[in-house]
Structure 1
Amino acid sequence: MRPVPRRVVLQAAALTPVVGLTSGVAHASPLHGGARSGLLGAALAVAAGSATEPPPHGEREPADTTLREIDGTSVVFQYGAVVPDFGGWRRQEPTRSYRMLDGVWRFRFDPEGTGEDEGWQRPDHDDADWDSISVPSAWDLKDTPGFGDYDGSRFGEGTAFVDGYAWYRTTVQVPGQWAARYVRLVFLAVNYRADVWVNGHYVGAHEGGYAPFALPVKDALRPGRKNVVAVRVHRLASWEDYTDPESPAVSDPYAIPWKPVDYWPYAGITRSVWLEAVPTVTVAKLLLAAGDGRLQARVVVENHRDDDFHGRVVLDAGEGSGASPVSRPIRVPGHGVAVVRFDVDIPKASPWSPERPALLTATATLLTGAGHGGHAVDVLRDRYGMRTVAIRDAKLLVNGEPAFLKGLNWHEESAAHGRSMTRSEYDHELGHVLAMNANAVRNTVYTRHPYAYDWADEHGVYVMDDLDNMWINTAQEKLHTEQYGLSRALALAMAWNNHNHPSVVVWCIQNESEIDGDGAPIYRAWLADMKAAIKAVDLTDRPVTWASHTSWDPAFDLADIVGFNEYFGYFYGKNEDLGPTLDAVHETYPDKPIMITENGSWSFFGHHGPEDEVGTEEWQAANFRAHWVQVAERTDYVAGYFFWVLKDYKTRAGYNQQYNGISEMGTLAFDSRTKRLVYDAIRDATL
């Protein structure tokens, strides 16, 4: 994922409307009279005020993510509570109540960062003159015409270049019965930092633009009355001046990523939001791992009452499993957590595989009383697949058989909706993976909307899940390992939240980060910290890898799979150098499989010519074939190859401004429709 070094001076830029996955309908928000000039005025002030000043940071990342051992199970906590199941966006349990907050919110930029001092979080604040915005959406697309165009003549204009603080406000009425329940406010994603108030009470903050989070809000909520939710979002500017090629980059040593990187950091409340009222004793999480005819389940029960709870948990492995429901007693201390473990035969379950992606639904029911009878207190369901993953003799084994991941890197974005894609956009875009006869995607450098994992589960596509750790430097690695803890928090969130998806077969924990000298002690400690966190959570023991920028990474002994990005014949060396490099790595790590986590090159649409002419579609396709054949000759120890990249993508890395910040390395144009020759080359590539 390395940019073509072609940064140029231009004046202006572009973007468009907004939408949430829940509706699939775009809600373009026309600006009222006078608002347009105000927004663009804020855009012109990107080098001032809150845009170039990082938000305040504490000693640790604000969610205070921790791992606790409870009844023999590692449980992830944030904000002092178990990180819950986030399935409310697609499924609503009968024992719970929900208020979806997707829709039109009040919205205002805060370029000087004075909103809190002026009381914008207070319920009585008059927001009548504020603008409106759809949630979920990216504010980048609020008023930036031509965002998806390749014409860079206006690069630098519009709300796509407004950074710093922006505020969101909405009102919601909740039933009076919620006074007897535990209530959380759930965000599937906010980029980058969110500070949240309910009825003027500060309820918490979150950093990291792609991980869901749930804030406890019972003490701030007013059941039976109108409630005001206010969210202040901060995105740091990437550059002091987006149109000056010599402009200094803006950075925040605590943030991940901490500086401009090779994608577009869409800002705002980019995924769904809801309030969820659960019983005061609740099934917080259901961990599932199935393979070889057996299901392991861990039912995490949380008690928000003062007194102990005595009851039982019933696990139903689901229709098609061949298992009968199993009951276990449970005692949960007041304001405590307990975990009930199940190990159940599922003799009729079919294995999950790309050829037959069989899925089942498990249900955990919490009941009162120790014996038969009693009433249901809470219910939680989730899907799973029977699938094993293992490493043996330099091979990746899925269900005991060698698997090769023919994959594509991809960025989650569309020209119309940024990172707030619709179902139809996901279906169309990911459909190209199957059309190219590929069987895998890499969720490059951030976790995706839950729908993307569901899609992969249902279509039999392998997933290499990935973290936000891109281009991290040594000082940051040390900071996050020894103090701030955001890298570890993101790793725990990824493994915990996406645990039950059978499509996820590999965890990836960083991309092209800095390696210190003298044995790389800082780099190794950082990687080991994240790997240990993931391994503690993952019942299926999926392999851990990372996308190193070098084939001689001194920490590869820590990896389950050796993963590195390579651009032979493009940025360095010759195409033919790949094979000998793979052989040398295999000789050093003979028991580990190798994956090419990135390889690709660029071409101009419609530019045709000889295969040795740089920039032609023929050259790009020939480069792919030259690398593929060397990989295909080594499948006894090479377990995967991921092409860079599925489609062209927007970037703030500081190059390609003449193309409106669009990197032209995709098999498809930014519209996900127009194909380059390399698309067919990948489709036709076989082992």
Structure 2
Amino acid sequence: MIREQRFINDDWTFAYGEHPGAEDELPGPDWYDIGLPHSFDLPDFREQRFYVGHGCYRRRVDVPEAWLGQWIALEFLGVFQVCEVFVNGRLVGRHEGGYTPFTVDISDAVVAGANEVFVRVDNIWNPRLAPRAGDYSFAGGIYRDVSLIVADRVRIDWYGIDVTTPEVSRERATVAAAIEVVNDEPEPVHVNVAAVLSDPERTVASLPTVRRVIPARSRAVVELEGAVAYPLLWHPDQPHRYKVTASISVDGIARDSQKASFGVRWFEFTADRGFFLNGEHLDLHGANVHQNRGGWGDAGTRASIRRDVGMIKDLGMNIIRGSHYPHHPYFAEECDRQGLLFWSELHFWGIGGENVEGYWFASAYPVNEADEPEFEESLRRALREMIRTQRNHPSIVTWSIGNEAFFSDDRVIGKAKALTSELVELAHELDPTRPAAVGGAQRKGFDVLGDIAGYNGDGAELFLDPGIPNLVAEYHGVRGQGPGEYEVQWEHGVETDYPWRSGKIFWCAFHYKSVADGAGLQGLADYWRMPRRSYHWYRERLRGIAPPAFPEPGTAVALRLTSDTEMIPTDGTGDARLLVELVDGHGVRVVDDRAVQLTVLEGEGVFPSGRSITLSPETHSLWDGAGAMELRSYAPGPQRILATAEGLAAAELVVVATGPRKARRARRLPPPAPWVTEPPSGQGETSLAAYRPVSVSSAEPLHEGGSATATGSGTYWRAANREPGEWLCANLEFPYEISRIEVVFAEPPAQPWLLETSADGHLFASLHAAEPEADELGAYLEFPLRTARLVRISFPEKPIDIEEIRVY
């Protein structure tokens, strides 16, 4: 039979907790109706806490009798982060790792008719499973699509088409298609494997058919090759894609067919001339993107991914870094379609700080030897899964091994570097057509371990002309809630474009939720994808589009409610982005601080909180007189939405949900997520400033500011100027409650110095003013707790060399 694949995102029930023994029981009163994608933490308003524990899902799946004897599987595109899958009470699969797709073979567990699927999920921190740390929120759940697949016992394997273009010019491109064929039958089969290349308008080539014998219960890769004359090259300005349709037959009978899109292009990262695409220099300028979002958290739809990619394209940028984990496969597909290069990244991830085991503040690499083998294998497995499911996307120009893995305990830094090198080589083995990058490689020699170095923060000024292909993988310029400032203030000299640098990637496109208190507010748009002032500054700079007239304070008299679409599908892949605005008597939006409630009056549409949701300044979900929220429906029909606010004329809107009509029962929507886990704190003796970014007034060559946060390096910072007013500022990156600072000078402090801290990055408060000391090389300061994100030491008369600054 020819394969069939369909989404089964609707009609799930969910309950918090582990529910041991519930795999073959009927749901009780503590089970609630939900649709996928789903997160444990709904609604998500960027609260600092999140639920850590178990959650269970169940759904009935109907199997026609004609399917029995075929290959039947469940496809999960992302579950965070450990899951067990049961069918009719029988364990059929288990997967560890929160960011990569996988399938579960249920062929032998199903019966004709109704089948009960039960999935137990947990997001418990695991010392043997990556990531062990990261500046993000690690919410649990089946937060990406789930599909049911049925195919022949003789078939093309799941993601079993690998398309490459070994030779490309503007006149001709060779196309190689490696087709992985599976034979689940008890006897060998003779298969004919064929493939056709096409673009949206016509067939452009047929690859010569290959006949092979596939042994019983085995698989084999069949190589096909052809060519396209005068190919249309994929480029951000012309994102042309081709399609390969591969098919297999036995004795003249078709057994399976699959399609895969690909693009024709060639590219190169160079150490001295930057990046080239199709033989032409292209200056890369882009943004980092996290997947979580206002209200729905990690559980975004494909429509929301499409909008996210569209917003980056609208800015005039040309590359996205998928920070800092493999994204939904549809993300790369949208980059292909809309024309954005994509830096696809693995989650070997560090955060620094207290370095506490038991939560996502830990050493990026395990500190206990017993945890090492499973941890390393979790990254090898994830790398294989990421590359297999995303290898055909022309937008992807590198596989990145991770981000800031140098935030590993000094005792295991050698092992962390060895693992990075191993993963680089594994990426080469799995995909020889793309280079492997190391992201966040600005400390401890990680930058030379891959083909491309991605420098974060002060790496932009620490590594000038490093002699290897490189770019700035993160640079900062904005912070805070609400509209913010218009002009972006770049740091660390990143505004200078060097010929040897391939480009720069802004941190970050959108606000995000993080385990680090005070983090995640560096977006050009906020958590609800409302463009901030800086978004328009970038668009004006890159595309020449003048900013809109920003709202002024005023008195609203009514609400205006609009949607980005009139129709939404009921299969969980789409939604409607609703925008509500507070307007004056002329219909002009004004800055008004009244909360707005959105309510579903008709239809089965849902917000992340159920049938209604409130947007308000208190939750930062409404500012500048507007707020946005995404609506879904898993049942067809009109969805009538009412927007209300105290003292204002209400507004209504109707969007239509489309899809098959099914018998429905009364739905019970889940309550807000329970908060059960608080992060540990105060247990670490690692300096919070260790290997953090450093800004300075000036620095002599070989004595950069980063020397002052490199633990035990034997180097020191020295100002290039010997005039009054020189300073060094250590950026802890997140606000911490601190109570101790140690300063180690490289020379006796014969000049006065001043120590200050800042919680917001703008206002500094004096902590200590010191007079010259002839004998002491260090200062040890203890003080009552204060909140600090920056620690600055300045010199009113003459600078003093600093070996290290430590913060606890």
Query: Structure 2-normalised TM-score?
Result: 0.61
Question: What does residue 258 of structure 1 align with?
Answer: 132
State which of 458, 463, 483 in structure 2 corresponds to 1:582.
Answer: 463
Spell out the pairing of 1:9-24 with structure 2 (5 A cutoff): none
In the other structure, the counterpart of 1:5 is none
Q: Gapped runs of 5+ residues in structure 1?
A: 1-93, 237-250, 569-577, 608-615, 657-661
Q: Following superposition of structure 1 onto structure 2, how do residues 144-183 of structure 1 map, counting pairs within 5 Å?
A: 144=43, 147-148=44-45, 156=49, 161-183=50-72
* Alpha-carbon separation, structure 2, partners of 1:450 and 1:378: 22
The alpha-carbon deviation at position 329 of structure 1 amounts to 0.8
Q: From the superposition, tell whether residues 210 and 346 of structure 1 become closer, same or farther in structure 2 (CA, over 3 Å).
A: same
Aligned to 1:101: 8
> Which residue number corresponds to residue 390 of structure 2?
498
| One-letter identity of the residue aligned with 1:376 | A
The amino acid across from 2:384 in the alignment is L
Aligned-residue offset at 1:182: 1.2
* Whole-angstrom distance in 1 between the partners of 2:347 and 2:441: 16
Using the TM superposition, give the Cα deviation of residue 129 of structure 1 relative to its aligned residue in structure 2, in angstroms. 5.0
Q: Which of 140, 151, 160 matches 1:278?
A: 151
The answer for the alignment partner of 1:289 in structure 2 is 164
Aligned-residue sequence identity (percent) comes to: 25
Q: Distance in 2 between matches of 1:480 and 1:358?
A: 46
2:79 is paired with a residue whose SS is coil
The Cα shift of 1:674 comes to: 3.3
For 1:301-380, list aligned pairs within 5 A.
301-319=181-199, 322-369=204-251, 374-380=252-258
Give 1:549 shift: 4.9
Q: Distance in 2 between matches of 1:557 and 1:480?
A: 26
Q: In 2, distance between residues paired with 1:596 and 1:478?
A: 33
Deviation (angstroms), 1:257: 1.7
Q: Tell me which amino acid in the other structure corresponds to 1:200.
A: G
Partner of 1:562: 453
Say which of 24, 32, 39 aligns to 1:138: 39
CA contact (8 A) 2:482 2:526 kept: no
Instruction: List per-residue Cα deviations over 1:297-349 (Å, max 9, x = no partner).
Output: 10000111111111210111224563234201111111111111122111142
User: Secondary structure at 2:502's aligned position in 1?
Assistant: strand
Offset from partner CA, 1:620-652 (integer Å, 9 cap, x none): 71225x73422x1x1x21002111010111112
| Separation of aligned partners in 1, 2:382 and 2:35 | 27
8 Å CA contact retained: 2:175, 2:227:
yes
Larger helix proportion, structure 1 or 2? 1
Report the TM-score, using the length of structure 1 for normalisation. Answer: 0.71
Residue 266 of structure 2 is aligned to residue 388 of structure 1: yes
Read off the aligned partner of 1:225 and give its amino acid letter.
G
Give the partner amino acid of 1:545.
A
- 1:73 matched residue in structure 2: none
**RMSD between aligned residues:** 2.6
- Distance in 2 (CA, whole Å) between partners of 1:410 and 1:481 is 29
Q: Which residue number in structure 1 is paired with residue 493 of structure 2?
A: 627
Match of 1:676 in 2: 533
Following the alignment from structure 2 to structure 1, what is the Cα–Cα distance between the partners of residues 190 and 512?
53
Asked if the contact 1:409–1:442 (Cα under 8 Å) also holds between the matched residues in 2, the reply is yes
Contact 1:322 1:348 in 2 (8 A): no
Letter in 2 for 1:230: F
CA separation of 1:182 and 1:555: change in aligned 2, threshold 3 A? same
CA distance in 2, matches of 1:477, 1:565: 28
Cα distance, 1:524–1:270 mapped onto 2, change above 3 Å: same
Q: Which has the larger radius of gyration?
A: 2
Counterpart residue type for residue 255 of structure 1:
L
* Equivalent residue for 1:647, pick from 498, 510, 527: 510
Could you say what secondary structure the match of 1:525 adopts? Answer: helix
Name 1:208's counterpart in structure 2.
97
Cα distance, 1:135 vs structure 2? 2.0
Q: Shift of residue 169 of structure 1?
A: 1.0
SS in 2 for 1:557: helix
Structure 2 distance, partners of 1:127, 1:676, is 49
* Contact 2:478/2:488 (8 A) holds in 1: no
Aligned-pair CA distance for 1:477: 10
Partner SS state of residue 489, structure 2: helix
Quote how far apart the aligned CAs of 1:109 are: 1.4
The answer as to whether partners of 2:241 and 2:263 remain within 8 angstroms in 1 is: yes
CA distance in 1 between partners of 2:61 and 2:411 (Å): 57
Q: Deviations over 1:549-607 (max 9, x none)?
A: 52x54243331112121148xxxxxxxxx44x332xx3xx42x2211111114433568
CA separation of 1:647/1:555 partners in 2, compared to 1, >3 Å: closer, same or farther?
closer
Aligned residues: 520
Aligned partner of 1:229 in structure 2 is 117
SS at match of 2:307: helix
CA distance in 1, matches of 2:110, 2:93: 14
**Distance across 1 between alignment mates of 2:311 and 2:285:** 13
Q: Residue 600 in 1 paired to residue 437 in 2?
A: no
What is the letter of the counterpart of residue 181 of structure 1? Q
For the residues of structure 2 that align with 1:313 and 1:328, how far apart are their CA atoms? Answer: 5
The question of whether the paired residues in 1 share the 8 Å contact of 2:271 and 2:470 is answered with no
**Equivalent position of 2:140 in the other structure:** 267
Residues 178-187 or 420-429, more deviating: 420-429
Q: Could you tell me how far 1:454 is from its partner in structure 2?
A: 1.4
Q: Say which SS state the counterpart of residue 426 (structure 2) adopts.
A: helix
User: Which 10-residue stretch deviates more, 226-235 or 662-671?
Assistant: 662-671
- 1:413-449 Cα deviation digits (max 9, x unpaired): 2213222223442233222212221101000011222
Q: Which residue of 1 aligns with 2:313?
A: 434
Q: CA distance change for structure 1 residues 218 and 519 in 2, over 3 Å: closer, same or farther?
A: closer
Higher relative contact order (CA 8 A, sep 6+): 1
Does structure 1 retain, via aligned residues, the 8 Å contact 2:478–2:524? no
Gaps of 5+ in 2: 351-362, 545-808
Q: What amino acid is the match of 2:164? A: A
> Does the Cα contact within 8 Å between 1:477 and 1:522 map onto a contact in 2?
no
Contact 1:317 1:361 in 2 (8 A): yes
